[in-house]
Structure 1
Amino acid sequence: MRRVRYASTGGPLFLEEALVPEPGAGEVLVRCEAVGVTLPVVRKVTEAAEPVPLGGEVAGEVVAFGAGVTGHAVGDRVTGLCFGHGYADFAVLRGDMASPVPDGVGAVDAVALVRSGVVALGALSAARPRPGEAALVTAAASGVGHLAVRLARARGASRVVGAVSDAAKADFVRSLGADEVVVYGDDDWGEPVDYVLDGVGGDLLTPAVGILAPGGRLVAYSSGGGTVRAYDLLVGARTVTGFQTARVAREMPQVYESWRRELWRLYATEGLRPVVHGPFALEDAAKAHEVVTSRGNLGKVVLVP
């Protein structure tokens, strides 16, 4: 099979031939039909001390499974997280983390909706939105952010503001249902909002907290770091909540599963659709990474082996 690898930190991505992996106990082997590209995986290429497997979100057909696997059969179509080599023709997933893809749903939609959608829906739930409130979503054109814009509207937001890195993304974000679009460097982000879903972090935390109305809530789900001044929270009784999907999946699997079911319900009955940037062929993984690194993507970046 083919897989994408790199040989040194920051080194170029390249395609190589490798043996098809064997699923171990509790694992399923999937023929990959679509692979989601995420910012954390892109960052590992330049930040990890040594090369690591390029894993992430995978959707495809189960072709084999190891001992102890229940609920899956050869021929089932699933999506889930791969902690090994995911940029490949075949990938191994933990059976308990592989969820079924409904009939009639393409792999690209599945991989773009389920993981990014779970992050967006989970962050939104952590914000405790109430109908009629105003929302602001940073990284509003990203794989998670563009779904967060749509979900905030679906949860009853009366006004949705999208924050982006480049004004050229404004029309795209408005097409998602945003009422207003602001650019990170703008001095004025407009009227206050009741909650912020932040997928950027860093220096953006200061204006993101500053736009909150009294009693406003910011949910931080980015790995970008950053610092919030306690005084900025004290003024107006604002709050910041950190959100991590891995913790929910590990400690509250029933909640995690309910979010997945809700996403598929919205897909089937409310027309919720992810926007895909690309897709890119497996051999063009470096181009896909460059799109994410340069913040050039509109929607979810996906590889199709």
Structure 2
Amino acid sequence: MKAIVVEQNGPPENLRYREVPDPRPKADEVLVRTTLTSLNYADVQARRGGYEAGSPPPFIPGLDAVGVVEALGADVTGLKLGQRVAVFTSGGSYAEKVLAKAVLAYPVPAELPDEAVSGLTAMVTAYNTLTWAGRLQKNETVLVHAAAGGVGSLAVQMAKALGAGLVIGTVGDTAKAAAVRRLGADEVLGYADFAEQVLKLTKQQGVDVILDSVAGEVFNRGMQCLAPFGRMVVYGHASGQAGSFETRPLHRQSKAVIGYSSGHYRRSRPALLRPTVEAVFALLQAGRVRLLVGARYRLEQAAEAHALMESRQSTGKILLYP
């Protein structure tokens, strides 16, 4: 089969399209013929090297895929040959065929097209950062950083669907603001003075939930506009820098800083993700959330797709088709 292989860490040009052996499922796995896969920023970081979830080269990147079950491991039940599924892959997803543990393979409802469910990592992350980690309550205010990105564009919609009040997004490029508003954001801000603007919009009260995939200085300033009893959810560090804060406001104002990683759940508590996937599929079926697709590439164009993601000029999800 054909796949994209990171032969050595470095720039997008190190993504090589080549022939690799077909994978064989273990007893608890399924083999899926891929119809599409999606890019996640974790793929870029893994390719560069030094990322926590990365593997030493050579490796196939990618976290999730959509496709059709082609083979079943000896112990697999509840799935059947020819069934359309969305999966978190056991290995990389940038390939014509992928492996997935059966516990991380989810049948796709007939009325949902492949593209609608293609951003599995982003959809699960958006939902769980708002609910499990963020404990979002009806009418609470939400600040979503990187609101035009794969997770952010879904989180804006989900926040509204889950009953949030004021939803604010931040973007690095003002050209993306209109797209974020169309997704349901009440306000869209740049990063330069977002903390001051948030306080102004909330009459100095701050926001109840902040979703932060950027970290660094964005995290530091976010703490300045987090309301008493508010929850700051950190699920990435796209800036490449760690954030920092004083602990005194946490107990004095009952604030919380919470970490979240879909990858950690996949590895440590995979069965817990199924209710989230089912809830997200229900939102998709009801038309309350939609995946924003920013670009589509052939699998062999993975380097171009990575270059676009690194440029920070993309919106929504970037998809790869074998």
Sort the TM-score into its range (normalised by shorter chain): over 0.9
Report what 2:90 is aligned to. 83
Report what 1:203 is aligned to. 217
The correspondence of residues 175-194 of structure 1 with structure 2, limited to 5 A, is 175-186=182-193, 188-191=196-199, 192-194=206-208
1:117 to 115, 123, 131: 123
Residue 189 of structure 1 aligns to a residue whose secondary structure is helix
Structure-2 separation of matches of 1:204 and 1:72: 43
Cα pair 2:216 2:237 within 8 Å, conserved: no
Structure-2 separation of matches of 1:6 and 1:226: 30
TM-score, scaled relative to structure 2:
0.88
Residue 167 of structure 2 aligns to a residue whose secondary structure is strand
Cα pair 1:141 1:172 within 8 Å, conserved: yes
Number of aligned pairs?
Answer: 304
Stretch moving more, 71-80 or 8-17: 8-17
1:216 to 227, 230, 234: 230
Structure-2 separation of matches of 1:63 and 1:254: 22
Stretch moving more, 218-227 or 28-37: 218-227
Structure-2 separation of matches of 1:254 and 1:62: 20
Q: Residue 266 of structure 1 aligns to which amino acid in structure 2?
A: L
Deviations 1:241-285 (A, max 9, x none): 112224445665564222111111111124321111212111111
Structure-2 separation of matches of 1:268 and 1:205: 34
- Kindly state the Cα deviation for residue 189 of structure 1 after the two structures are TM-superposed: 2.8
Q: Residue 243 of structure 1 aligns to which amino acid in structure 2?
A: Y
Stretch moving more, 97-106 or 239-248: 239-248
Identity of aligned residues (%): 35
Structure-1 separation of matches of 2:263 and 2:40: 15
Report what 2:32 is aligned to. 30
Cα pair 2:33 2:69 within 8 Å, conserved: yes
Q: Residue 198 of structure 2 aligns to which amino acid in structure 1?
A: G
Structure-2 separation of matches of 1:83 and 1:19: 15
2:73 to 66, 80, 105: 66
The correspondence of residues 1-305 of structure 1 with structure 2, limited to 5 A, is 1-11=1-11, 12=13, 13-48=15-50, 50-112=57-119, 114-125=120-131, 126-186=133-193, 188-191=196-199, 192-224=206-238, 225-231=242-248, 233=250, 236-249=253-266, 255-305=272-322
Cα pair 1:87 1:282 within 8 Å, conserved: yes
Structure-1 separation of matches of 2:265 and 2:45: 23
Q: Residue 292 of structure 1 aligns to which amino acid in structure 2?
A: M
Structure 2, gaps ≥5 residues long: 51-55, 200-205
Q: Residue 63 of structure 2 aligns to which amino acid in structure 1?
A: G
Cα pair 1:42 1:293 within 8 Å, conserved: yes
- Kindly state the Cα deviation for residue 27 of structure 1 after the two structures are TM-superposed: 1.4
Q: 1:223 to 1:51 in 2, by over 3 A?
A: farther
Cα pair 1:189 1:211 within 8 Å, conserved: no
Structure-1 separation of matches of 2:270 and 2:314: 31
Deviations 1:173-205 (A, max 9, x none): 111111111111236333321111112212210
Structure-2 separation of matches of 1:56 and 1:254: 17
Structure 1, gaps ≥5 residues long: none
- Kindly state the Cα deviation for residue 214 of structure 1 after the two structures are TM-superposed: 2.1
Structure-1 separation of matches of 2:178 and 2:96: 35
Cα pair 2:142 2:210 within 8 Å, conserved: yes
Cα pair 1:79 1:101 within 8 Å, conserved: yes
Cα pair 2:138 2:162 within 8 Å, conserved: yes
Q: Residue 195 of structure 1 aligns to which amino acid in structure 2?
A: V
Q: Residue 30 of structure 2 aligns to which amino acid in structure 1?
A: V
Q: Residue 116 of structure 1 aligns to which amino acid in structure 2?
A: A
Q: 1:248 to 1:20 in 2, by over 3 A?
A: closer
Cα pair 1:209 1:232 within 8 Å, conserved: no
Q: Residue 120 of structure 1 aligns to which amino acid in structure 2?
A: A
Stretch moving more, 71-80 or 126-135: 126-135
Q: Residue 5 of structure 1 aligns to which amino acid in structure 2?
A: V
Q: 1:263 to 1:204 in 2, by over 3 A?
A: same
Q: 1:30 to 1:265 in 2, by over 3 A?
A: same
Stretch moving more, 60-69 or 3-12: 3-12
- Kindly state the Cα deviation for residue 170 of structure 1 after the two structures are TM-superposed: 0.6
Deviations 1:103-141 (A, max 9, x none): 1322222122x3211111100012122212111001111
Report what 2:202 is aligned to. none
Cα pair 1:55 1:83 within 8 Å, conserved: no
